[in-house]
Amino acid sequence: MEVGALTDEHFGAGIQVAPIAVPAGFPSPAQDYYDGSVDLNEHLIQDRTSTFVVRVSGDSMTGAGISDGDELVVDRARRPTDGSVVVAILDGELTVKRLRLTRAGVVLAAENPAYPDVRVPELADLSIWGVATCCLHHL
């Protein structure tokens, strides 16, 4: 997984926005009509100083809509809660998993049945590096 700081190169201001939702069925009569622009920083980022983009490697999170090569917007200031998709460091290894806080302890859950969940042993070195807030999925 690559980790990099979020810069204006990632999300440039001034991208054109259509004023209507585009149907996935029949063509819209408002084709080619655009109204203004949107700054993706405003929509995807709460705190620029603590936000990074990480590229995902592997397919353990496909059930969450996160595929190999996708990029996650990760906020290091956001508090992780049960159910958050997190970038975790477990015993020195980076991983993207869903955080589960159970009565039996912490579980880093895969979202692909081909991968086992990781029950974090009590004496393990676990650090939540950040909480994923958005997945940039490439088509």
Query: pLDDT tens digit string along 81-103?
Result: 999 999 999 999 999 999 999 99
Q: What is the model's pLDDT at position 66? A: 97
Inside any domain, residue 36: no
Residue 86, class by beta-carbon neighbours within 10 Å (0-12 exposed, 13-18 middle, 19+ buried)?
buried
Identify the CATH number of the domain in which residue 126 sits: 2.10.109.10
Inside any domain, residue 58: yes
Q: How many domains does the chain have?
A: 1
Q: What is the model's pLDDT at position 132? A: 96
Q: What is the model's pLDDT at position 139? A: 83
Expressed as residue numbers, the domain containing 54 is 2-6+47-136
Distances (CA, A) of 39 to 10, 44, 52: 11, 9, 17
Inside any domain, residue 64: yes
Q: Please tell me the number of Cα atoms within 13 Å of 82 on its side-chain side.
A: 6
Find the length of the chain.
139
Inside any domain, residue 22: no
Q: What is the model's pLDDT at position 28? A: 56
Annotated catalytic residue: which of 37, 57, 60, 127?
60
Inside any domain, residue 30: no
Q: Which residue stretches of the chain have pLDDT < 70? A: 1-36
Its sign, for the CA torsion 136, 69, 106, 80, is negative
Check if 60 is active-site: yes
Inside any domain, residue 59: yes
Inside any domain, residue 52: yes
Inside any domain, residue 37: no
Tell if the pTM clears 0.95, that is, is over it. Answer: no
How far apart are the C-alpha atoms of 109 and 64, rounded to whole Å? 11
Q: What is the model's pLDDT at position 38? A: 72
Check if 97 is active-site: yes
